[in-house]
Amino acid sequence: QVQLVESGGGLVQAGGSLRLSCAASGRYTMGWFRQAPGKEREFVAGITWSGGITYYADSVKGRFTISRDNAKNTVYLQMNSLKPEDTAVYYCAATTYVSTVALPTSRNGYTYWGQGTQVTVSS
């Protein structure tokens, strides 16, 4: 059983930055999703095991950066230029699907999920 533990959420003003972390041991493709109140959980960013492939939702492209440190079993989501519409619970997810050329971007593509961390951006 894979355990994913997120940290780093909080309250920040618009234009500010936060960095989320997700601790997960094992060889996994990792993703970040978010869910705002009354909305579906949506893909934010993903990264392959090697870190060679990353993919972002259009809404965060150029503002968010996903990275990983496999020696520390940790995946990061650096969020800059935050907007009020980024407010959501952010979830870390993992899948045993490992590829060097692609990664899943749908919720169904991931098997393991963290408990979520709240990110609130005030205007």
Q: Give the pLDDT of residue 26.
A: 83
Q: What percent of the chain has pLDDT over 90?
A: 86
Query: What element of type H or E holds 5?
Result: strand 5-7
Q: Rg of the chain over CA atoms, in angstroms?
A: 13
- pLDDT per residue as tens digits for the range 28-83: 999 999 999 999 999 999 999 888 899 999 999 999 999 999 999 999 999 999 99
Confidence of residue 100 (pLDDT cuts 50, 70, 90): confident
Q: What percent of the chain has pLDDT over 70?
A: 100
Q: For the chain, give the number of residues.
A: 123
Residues 6+ apart with CB under 8 A from 10: 18, 118, 119, 120
Tokens of 90: 């952010």
Inform me whether the pLDDT recorded for 17 exceeds 90: yes
Report strand pairing: 74-79 vs 88-95.
unpaired
Q: Give the pLDDT of residue 63.
A: 98
* DSSP state letter for 57: -
Contact indicator for 41, 55 with CB cutoff of 8 Å: no
Q: Give the pLDDT of residue 21.
A: 98
Q: Give the pLDDT of residue 18.
A: 98
Among 30, 121, 34, 123, residue whose Cα is nearest residue 80: 121
